Amino acid sequence: MRVIFGIGNPGKKYLSTKHNIGFTVLDHFAEKYNLQFEPSQKDYYIAGSEIEASQFFLIKPATYVNLSGIAAKQVFEDINITIDNFLVVVDDVNLDEGKLRIRNAGGDGGHNGLHSINYHLENDQYPRLRFGIGKDFKEGRMADYVLSEFNDSSIPLLKKSIEDSGELISKFITGGKKSMLEYYSQLINKLKSNQIDDHPGD
């Protein structure tokens, strides 16, 4: 059993914002497999299926980003999974726009959503798929930046990175963290592009 947890803000006005790339990746993945998110009885939306006999659930919190940990804790109460079978998809201002990086575990890197998850789970040993949104903002304006939409010129790059994210998620579902990291390394060697960061697992 695997769980893929996307970070984002609920509501239409946040739909296409940089902070919601975690939701965007999960929405794209759900569409590919003809899945629909349904409200749970808790603070999250859920869609589930299986790939190659490996069962998974996609989770989108119904809370705002800085309260993501509330939904994460509820997921662990509702679904019997271990921490290494819980993958978080998160936006990252410390990576160039569209760049991907896998991280095995660790701190929140200044991200309020990860901070909330670490706090509520009392654990930071879960893998993350970090999706770069860049940091083209002036000092003190990060909140405005992450809640803004991507430029139209970024769309082709983002589409490719979203597709690559979906493939990484598929590998995570069918083979766990190890399989995802192996595929990530293959992408680095095959593509040699700016979308894939060359420091997997940091």
Distance, CA of 20 to CA of 91 (rounded, Å):
7
> CA 194 to CA 47: how far, in whole Å?
31
Handedness of CA 3, 4, 7, 13 (dihedral sign): negative
Full DSSP string of 5-52: EE----SGGGTTBGGGHHHHHHHHHHHHTT---EE-SSSEEEEEEEET
Q: Give me the phi and psi of 87, to 5 degrees please.
A: -105, 130
According to DSSP, the β-strands at 2-6 and 54-61 are: parallel
* Helix, strand, coil distribution of the chain in percent, nearest 5: 45, 20, 35
- Element containing residue 90 per DSSP (H, E): strand 86-92
CB-based contacts of 171: which residues, under 8 Å, 6+ apart? 179, 180, 182, 183
For residue 144, give both structure tokens. Answer: 């405005």
What are the residue numbers of the active site? 19
